[in-house]
């Protein structure tokens, strides 16, 4: 995959993450901090968290075809890096009540769910693209016979 294609894939992942993280923050906020009022700076957090979720994918990429076990190991490494970075932010942020175990556990669980949903959504996009490419190839073969 060329660098340009990797960037396009990273942007797709980024915008999927922005959407899912925004929904997640709304749900967690409504569950644990209903009365809190946010400033406009709160709109920045999904963008930053999405960037954190996208960057490991840029560095853990290989041109070679990987086996299923290699892909699983890469996903485990990616989710571990993402969880570690976000948990570091959680425990250093003054705005997140990290002293409450339920908040920390919900964030950790939410990261895993968002990661899994992102992988599934990306797979469905790629599946759709491959089906479309196969249809084009079949049409091309029929027209050239």
Tens of each residue's pLDDT in the chain, 145 residues: 677 888 888 889 999 999 999 888 888 888 887 777 766 667 778 888 888 888 887 776 667 777 888 888 988 998 999 999 988 988 888 877 778 888 889 989 999 999 999 999 999 998 999 999 999 999 989 888 7
Angle between helices 3-32 and 101-143 (to 10 degrees): 140
∠ Cα 128 15 97 (to 5°) = 130
Q: How many domains does the chain have?
A: 1
- Domain interval for residue 61: 3-143
- The pTM of the full predicted model, rounded to 2 decimals, is 0.77
Q: Find all residues with CB under 8 Å of 121, minimum gap 6, and list them.
A: 16
Q: Find all residues with CB under 8 Å of 49, minimum gap 6, and list them.
A: 17, 21, 86
């Amino acid at each position: 995959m060329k660098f340009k294609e990797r960037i396009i894939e990273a942007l797709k992942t980024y915008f999927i993450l922005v959407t899912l993280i925004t929904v997640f923050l709304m749900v967690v906020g409504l569950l644990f901090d209903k009365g809190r009022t946010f400033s406009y700076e709160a709109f920045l957090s999904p963008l930053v968290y999405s960037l954190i979720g996208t960057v490991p994918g840029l560095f853990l990429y290989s041109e070679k075809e990987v086996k299923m076990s290699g892909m699983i190991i890469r996903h485990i490494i990616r989710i571990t890096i993402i969880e570690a970075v976000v948990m570091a932010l959680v425990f250093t942020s003054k705005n997140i009540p990290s002293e409450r175990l339920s908040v920390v556990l919900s964030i950790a669980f939410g990261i895993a769910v968002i990661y899994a949903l992102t992988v599934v959504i990306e797979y469905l996009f790629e599946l759709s693209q491959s089906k479309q490419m196969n249809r084009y190839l079949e049409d091309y073969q029929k027209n050239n016979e």
